[in-house]
């Protein structure tokens, strides 16, 4: 049986939407189905982190998020009637020194429009019923508006949430634990608010409350209710009144209670079936990593799945998806457990000990920096990946993301960020000539790379030089930037489509590059 589509994607949340759009942009046929007859009108996820903003920049979408959302530059943490610390994202190491507060349904709307621009669509009222895997394809049984349909696909990706039908069909276990204490949420305005609207506010008291900034000077209020039947607005008011006398909530909407979980799928692939987003991992909402991690799952998987579907790489390339993304899920669920323990201290003596610990941690520069980059999701690298290769470096090693703050200058004098030179769909070879390399040496190696016909994974080559006499074919990098990159002579960086460094070669450039391309073909 010949598969009717290369890829079936189940679930049209942010993860499924981005994956489908990125496959369509790479001319890989896919069908995106969702059981719901229409997009959800409201959802709890609120925060888009700096790393996700970098992803959206590479797709040409970031301005839409900046326009539709509100900047959240810092978080201020309170306990026992006073401020005990702040986390400021302005120096997180991204050109986006802030989160964006935006409700998930708006994120989905932006991504749906992006999917349509790539020629894709969401097929709604389509529920996955069953999957039958064969040697070279999968047969999916789908209930579409009461009519049973069977389609064949080379690959199926489950992006269908914690109760994933895709995952249940594979027998993959979601391991971890339920979070016992329930959460609640509502949206509201707070009249006469005198503090910044570009911040989130955390209150660690009997009833923990988190105020998360939204557009229009509104707030999404996350909280731990005092009981199963309590008035949520009264609960939140009682916690905040000691800090903000006279506080009241108005225009309250979308009040609900919910339970959370900290769980990770025991594996991400099962034959020709893969998992992403909440189908693969779920975590506490405290740190806002759930939706963001799903977005980054899709961004990681899309280019790999495209290479496999187009016959450029063996299916073994997809093993790197689990090797890279599952450790991230384990990290954020562990971090979520730690954050939950901070919020749930009941004993007075333990609270005082906790508050002292938080104060000390956020007063120590090294500890604070760790918290900042973790919040921004810039502490992620893929050092255990089977498809990173080459020389090590403290900051710009294979597996690290390419920093978005390094600037360079075109020959015409126009300045831009280094990451803006990278190819949106493929791999970019960036050749950097440091202070000890002449412009002629840089040009010679660049030409040699371009002559290598067997290096089919390199879609673009960029040559940079720190020399002031470089020709118009070069962009100029400041000597301080080359020093930051750790480049003295000639260094070759290969930047993957997801913005991570796949290869670093400080010597033996052509041979090391050939080895890297071999890994991409059959890792």
Half-sphere exposure of 352 (CA within 13 A, CB side): 2
Residues of the chain with pLDDT under 70: 1-3, 410-412, 453, 468-473
Residue 345 is predicted with a pLDDT of: 87
Residue 41 is predicted with a pLDDT of: 86
Please provide the CATH number assigned to the domain covering 183-258.
3.30.70
Percentage of the residues of the chain whose pLDDT score is greater than 70: 97
Q: What is the pLDDT of residues 443-498, one digit of tens each?
A: 889 888 888 867 779 998 888 988 866 555 677 888 888 898 999 999 999 999 99
Residue 113 is predicted with a pLDDT of: 98
Buried b (16+ CB within 10 A) or exposed e, 186-214: bbbbbeeeeeebebbbbbbbebbbbbbbb
Q: Class of 5-39+103-176+262-344 per CATH?
A: alpha beta
The residue behind tokens 């903003």 is 53
Residue 453 is predicted with a pLDDT of: 66
Strand runs labelled E in 389-448? 389-390, 407-409, 415-417, 427-433
Residue 1 is predicted with a pLDDT of: 45
Contact 289, 336 (CB under 8 A): yes
CA angle 222, 228, 229 (to 5 degrees): 100
Angle between helices 290-309 and 319-343 (to 10 degrees): 180
Q: What is the pLDDT of residues 273-286, one digit of tens each?
A: 999 999 999 999 99
Buried b (16+ CB within 10 A) or exposed e, 289-322: bbbbbbbbbbbbbbbbbbbbbeeebebebbbbbb
Look at residues 80, 369, 105, 99 and name the one whose alpha carbon lies nearest to residue 253. Answer: 105
Contact 437, 465 (CB under 8 A): yes
Which structure tokens are listed for 231? 């008035």
The C-alpha atoms of residue 466 and residue 476 are separated, in whole angstroms, by 6
Q: Are strands 183-189 and 174-178 parallel, antiparallel or unpaired?
A: unpaired
Residue 4 is predicted with a pLDDT of: 87
Domains 5-39+103-176+262-344 and 389-521 share a fold: no
The residue behind tokens 């888009």 is 48
Look at residues 374, 380, 373, 288 and name the one whose alpha carbon lies nearest to residue 327. Answer: 380
Terminal CA-CA length for the chain: 28
Which structure tokens are listed for 497? 């489509």
The C-alpha atoms of residue 510 and residue 492 are separated, in whole angstroms, by 9
Half-sphere exposure of 380 (CA within 13 A, CB side): 27
Contact 25, 310 (CB under 8 A): no
Please provide the CATH number assigned to the domain covering 389-521.
3.40.30.120
Classify 285 as helix, strand or coil: coil
The C-alpha atoms of residue 255 and residue 230 are separated, in whole angstroms, by 12
Angle between helices 290-309 and 14-25 (to 10 degrees): 30
* Domains of the chain, residue spans: 5-39+103-176+262-344, 183-258, 389-521
Which structure tokens are listed for 190? 């707070």
Q: Are strands 273-275 and 147-158 parallel, antiparallel or unpaired?
A: parallel
Q: What is the pLDDT of residues 60-91, one digit of tens each?
A: 999 999 999 999 999 999 999 999 999 999 99
Q: Are strands 501-505 and 389-390 parallel, antiparallel or unpaired?
A: parallel
> What is the Rg, in whole angstroms, of the alpha carbon atoms belonging to the chain?
24
Residue 132: partners with Cβ closer than 8 Å, 6 or more residues away: 138, 139, 140, 141
Q: What is the pLDDT of residues 357-394, one digit of tens each?
A: 999 999 999 999 999 999 999 999 999 999 999 998 88
State the greatest distance between any 2 C-alpha atoms of the chain, in Å, as a whole number: 75
User: What is this structure's pTM?
Assistant: 0.96
Residue 425 is predicted with a pLDDT of: 87
């Amino acid at each position: 049986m010949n598969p009717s589509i290369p890829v079936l994607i189940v679930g049209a949340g942010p993860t499924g939407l981005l994956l489908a759009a990125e496959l369509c942009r790479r001319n890989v046929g896919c069908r995106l189905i969702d059981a719901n007859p229409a997009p959800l009108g409201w959802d709890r996820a609120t925060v888009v982190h700096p790393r996700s903003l970098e992803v959206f920049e590479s797709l040409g979408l970031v301005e839409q998020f900046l326009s539709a959302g509100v900047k959240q530059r810092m978080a201020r943490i309170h306990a026992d009637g006073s401020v005990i610390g702040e986390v400021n994202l302005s120096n997180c190491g991204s050109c986006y020194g802030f989160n964006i507060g935006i409700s998930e349904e708006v994120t989905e709307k932006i991504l749906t429009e992006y999917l349509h621009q790539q020629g894709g669509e969401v097929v709604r009222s389509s529920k996955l019923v069953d999957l039958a895997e064969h040697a070279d394809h999968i047969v999916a049984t789908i209930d579409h508006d009461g009519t049973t349909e069977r389609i064949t696909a080379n690959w199926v990706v489950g992006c269908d949430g914690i109760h994933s039908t895709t995952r249940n069909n594979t027998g993959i276990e979601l391991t971890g634990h339920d979070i016992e204490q329930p959460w609640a949420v509502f949206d509201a305005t707070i009249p006469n608010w005198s503090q910044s609207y570009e911040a989130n506010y955390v209150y660690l008291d009997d009833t923990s409350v988190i105020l998360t900034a939204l557009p229009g000077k509104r707030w999404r209020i996350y909280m731990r209710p005092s009981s199963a039947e309590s008035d949520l607005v009264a609960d939140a008011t009682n916690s905040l009144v000691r800090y903000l006398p006279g506080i009241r909530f108005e225009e309250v909407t979308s009040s609900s209670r919910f339970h959370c979980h900290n769980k990770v799928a025991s594996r991400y692939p099962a034959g020709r079936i893969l998992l992403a987003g909440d189908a693969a991992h779920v975590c506490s909402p405290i740190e806002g990593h759930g939706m963001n991690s799903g977005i980054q799952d899709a961004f990681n998987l899309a280019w790999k799945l495209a290479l496999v579907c187009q016959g450029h790489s063996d299916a073994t390339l997809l093993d790197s998806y689990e090797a890279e993304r599952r450790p991230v899920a384990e990290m954020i669920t562990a971090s979520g457990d730690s954050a939950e323990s901070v919020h749930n201290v009941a004993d007075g003596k333990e609270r005082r000990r906790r508050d002292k610990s938080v104060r000390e941690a956020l007063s120590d520069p090294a500890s604070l920096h760790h918290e900042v980059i973790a919040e921004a999701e810039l502490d992620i690298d893929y050092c255990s990946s089977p498809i990173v290769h080459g020389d090590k470096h403290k900051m710009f090693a294979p597996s690290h993301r390419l920093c978005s703050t390094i600037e360079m200058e075109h020959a015409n004098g126009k300045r831009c960020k280094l990451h803006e030179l990278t190819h949106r769909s493929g791999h970019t070879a960036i050749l950097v000539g440091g202070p000890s390399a002449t412009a002629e040496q840089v040009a010679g190696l660049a030409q040699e790379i371009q002559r290598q016909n067997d290096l089919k994974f390199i879609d673009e080559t960029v040559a940079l030089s720190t020399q002031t006499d470089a020709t118009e074919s070069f962009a100029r990098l400041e000597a301080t930037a080359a020093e930051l990159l750790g480049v003295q002579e000639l260094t070759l960086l290969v930047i993957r489509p997801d913005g991570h460094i796949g290869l670093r070669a400080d010597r033996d450039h052509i041979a090391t590059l050939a080895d890297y391309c071999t890994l991409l073909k059959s890792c």
